[in-house]
Amino acid sequence: MLEAHHLGKSYRLGDNEVTALADVSLTFPRGSITTIVGRSGCGKTTLLRLLAGLEQPSSGELRRSEGGPQRIGVVFQEARLMPWLDVAGNVAFGLRRRLPPEAIAERSRAALDMVGLSAFAEAMPGQLSGGMAQRVAIARALVMEPDLLLLDEPFAALDAFTRRAMQNELIAIWQRKRPTIVFVTHDVEEAVLLGEHVLELERGRVVGHEPVALPFPRDPTTAEVNDHRRRILAKLTAPSPASAPLPEAAANAIAT
Ligand SMILES: Nc1ncnc2c1ncn2[C@@H]1O[C@H](COP(=O)(O)OP(=O)(O)OP(=O)(O)O)[C@@H](O)[C@H]1O
Ligand SMILES: [Mg+2]
């Protein structure tokens, strides 16, 4: 179980202070899949970086309870591949010296297979399209068999067909291995298709929590998905002055 208690993060920008995240309290139950949706600049990446331990909060704290995540996998908004290593080398990088070479090769092959890039193991990053590079980044996270998988708009660069396939693949992997997944997106439909819980983030605050109880894989053309989508959009587009106090329930989304 991973918990955020009153997490806040501010940055200094010249003489000003930018509040990227303000007082976010959340619980991510072990093995759950949560999506976080919100417009550009609302603090999604900041929240993910704090959850990953890549940055320290300005206020509040993260708690990892007994049996909490040990191995954290992160997929960033950009692929960030190492240009001097081929695709297989990029995927295997985190496993080096941890396993015998044959086991590393085997796991890397399986991870590349999951993202549909088996044929490109020997390609160099510069020879890949943006979407392919992003799929390599996903394979690089999966190969570590993380128990907490943090994904920052991982499918934003993909065409609609590949994106659907990757969404389904992610759900299949989640159902097979049950990592705790936190998935950030600005796409409300994607948030509904992938989340057991959808959290709405606005100006650094959690302004809504939409539980989605539909079975996986979900069909974007169904009325149920559309209903959730409409409700979330209505909440996100409703005027919400930065000074307005948050309802307690929203601030404590997924209280368990
Ligand atoms: N290192 C930094 N220094 C200063 N300000 C920052 C820094 N990182 C983020 N911010 C500010 O914090 C706010 C939230 O940024 P963040 O990257 O978390 O947004 P986001 O929701 O991920 O947006 P996007 O959808 O465009 O990726 C923005 O106002 C941004 O300018
Ligand atoms: Mg971002």
The CA distance from 183 to 37, in Å, is: 9
**CA-based nearest residue to 89, from 131, 137, 121, 114:** 121
Q: State the pLDDT at residue 131.
A: 86
pTM higher than the cut 0.85: yes
For residues 34 and 39, give the distance between their C-alpha atoms in angstroms, rounded to a whole number: 17
Which residue has the least CA distance to atom 26 on ligand 1?
40
Q: What residues form DSSP beta bridges with 147?
A: none
Angle value at C-alpha 162, between 50 and 30, nearest 5 degrees: 35
Protein residue with least CA distance to atom 17, ligand 1: 45
pLDDT of res. 65: 76
Looking at residue 130, what is its pLDDT? 87
Quick one: which ligand is closest to 46's CA?
1
Question: Rounded to the nearest whole angstrom, what is the distance from the C-alpha of residue 120 to the centroid of ligand 1?
Answer: 33
In the prediction, which pLDDT does 252 show? 47
33-37 and 197-202 strand pairing: parallel
User: Mean pLDDT, 10 residues at a time, over the chain (256 residues)?
Assistant: 94 92 94 96 96 95 78 91 97 92 95 94 95 93 94 92 91 93 97 98 95 96 97 81 47 46
Q: What pLDDT, on the 0 to 100 scale, is given for residue 137?
A: 95
Q: Which ligand is nearest to the CA of 201?
A: 1
The ligand with the least distance to the CA atom of 14 is: 1
User: Is 24 a pocket residue for ligand 1 (Cβ < 6 Å)?
Assistant: no
Find, among 184, 253, 191, the residue nearest to 218 by Cα.
191
Q: What is the distance in A from the centroid of ligand 2 to the CA of 229?
A: 21
CB distance 42 to ligand 1 below 6 Å: yes
Residue span(s) of the chain under CATH 3.40.50.300 come to 2-71+146-253
Alpha carbons within 13 A on the beta-carbon side of 183: 27
Q: What is the pLDDT of residue 235?
A: 87
CATH number listed for the domain at residues 2-71+146-253: 3.40.50.300
Residues 61, 65, 71, 74: what is their CA dihedral angle, to the nearest 10 degrees? -40
Residue-level pLDDT at 239: 63
